[in-house]
Chain A
């Protein structure tokens, strides 16, 4: 038989240098495609546009600080997803889990804000938000274990249940007012205190600590090892005597709980209010972040930063050239397509006709 023009074989291992090179080329190609897009649609010089884009994040100290604020929101959710994804449990429900955590926080701010002493108030808010997110993560995991219910679809549906609960309760809380506005505006009860000038710096600090903790948890703890084994092969895990059901439910409670905590940080530290837009699609974007980073929380920080940089940059382009913000979605999506596609060249090797290689 004639040798095919090109064969594909799986790489057994890949060097760090090659991985970095492949991703770098992918991003450069994506930027070139985007440059064509910018040029043909707007007629602007793409290089100028990229320079303006740079200013979105690095224009001044305040912008950089806002970029980091938004980055940690995305990163926090990505971190939350990491344990679940490593177990090959497709938690698409982060959006809902964050919302439920944020809602629990907001309810306690409004209804207990003036009756509890501050430290107790924060404690109750944190516990409630973690519990709310945890429950939202627990339900699909429970049924996955009991009846093997498809978790991708289940968690996806749970998002919309959460959105409708949040919209009902914000509607209830605002009463006759046209919008909810900042919660506890007068007393500022339940607002995270300012730290180095901004409340959200506490978010940055907490997510920073979590990034390290989850990294260590996944890499060095016994539970992290169990998660890794289940992710590789459930049968191997069963054979090794790992209680798959218990680990799965535990991991999803952790995943949901961290999402809930992020909900708390958004409401208490960033927005001081709640709406169906509190998670703002970050729950979905974080899925991409967590997957691309291959469950490594430090890579997640890098990828979150890249995505926020793009979003901020596109907003800057939009205001500078009277375009619109949706350019950010296009530019981001093109870069994601290229990075996703580039994984192929990390996992597989192409062998052209007559080039030999191990058969």
Chain B
């Protein structure tokens, strides 16, 4: 029981990282843009958030917690949206190939984050932003430790709940509002949307940039809460970014599914550590390596199931991955 509890308590924060990544990418893909730059954007957001709060903490004479959170969020969102803007300009205005531009953005984000990260590290193998971490990881509900159930639900930093709220808002906006309908039309059939007077370019730009801003929060949450406010040069964020892309498929492009899907992915991810514990198995190291493929294999099966059953509401946006040029019709 204790292991199960520990497992869930690990899975939910992990899920939150990729929930942000996936929510942003769902919004982006709904506009027909397949942005493979998610890992790069999460690098940009995570690093900018860390750098912002790190410098605020170290340069300000008496740093204030709320201000620190604000600086981190503002830096993170600005940097991630800038990444999204680069991608948007090249794929929407200049109509370059989306896959290739996305991969270049991943290289870019990873390079920028780690290059400037080395300056902050200044020779150390890692550095920390303790104030930011204490603010982001602070439990916002005082009664969290009452029993196992309250622990599972209430014992996290505020960004965990923001992610869920964002997912609900995204779901509502996409399914229940005019803006959402227009956005989906742009992703399904931009020519039809254009004929209807919807500005395809505006929707694509906004969806991609806002989506990037949200994806970047995943990187911020990873660095400042999940990873205890520690920045180190690793490839970890890249792996998380690709997992977020996988999660988008798993949710069949529906924000509500991202909530439980993300936590389920978190359970899958930590399966190798906790399941043997619970079952009392002793597994060799190579078996745990194999278990790490579970989220990806499950995603493949979802992808296969969706394409086999051909239910209309589960398909990727019709024009996903294609640039739109009015005169090409």
Contact = CB atoms under 8 A, between A and B. Distances in A.
Interface in A303-332: 323-324, 326-330, 332
Bin the interface of chain A by size.
35 or more
Looking at chain A's contact residues, is the secondary structure mostly helix, strand, loop, or mixed? helix
Given A337-B108, A343-B96, A148 B299 contact: no
Contact of B95 (A150, A171, A347): A347
Contact of B108 (A147, A284, A330): A330
Contacts of B245: 153, 156
Interface in B277-307: 284-287, 289-290, 292-293, 296-297, 299-300, 303-304, 307
A74 to B, nearest CB: 13
A168 B287 CA distance: 7
A153 B305 CA distance: 14
B108 A334 contact: yes
Interface in A142-156: 143, 147-150, 152-154, 156
Contacts of A171: 285-286, 289
Contacts of B100: 287-288, 291-292, 336, 340
Given A168-B290, A288-B100, A333-B105, A143 B304 contact: yes
Contact of B307 (A9, A150, A164, A328): A150
B95 to A, nearest CB: 6
B70 interface: no
A61 B108 CA distance: 31
B300 A157 contact: yes
Contacts of A164: 289-290, 292-293, 296
Interface stretch (B2-10, B49-57, B112-120, B158-166): B112-120
The B contact surface, by secondary structure, is helix
Interface string B107-148: 110111011001000000000000000000000000000000
A73 to B, nearest CB: 17
Interface string A157-181: 1101101110111011000000000
Interface string B143-186: 00000000000000000000000000000000000000000000
Contacts of B94: 340-341, 343-344
B74 interface: no
Contacts of B290: 164-165, 168
Nearest to A347: B95
A153 to B, nearest CB: 5
A240 interface: no
A109 B107 CA distance: 34
Interface of B: 34, 36, 86, 89-90, 93-97, 99-101, 103-108, 110-112, 114-115, 118, 242, 245-246, 249, 284-287, 289-290, 292-293, 296-297, 299-300, 303-304, 307-308, 310, 316, 320-321, 325, 327-328
Q: Which 10 A-B pairs have the closest CB atoms?
A: A329-B111, A333-B108, A164-B293, A168-B289, A326-B115, A344-B94, A149-B307, A330-B111, A336-B104, A172-B286
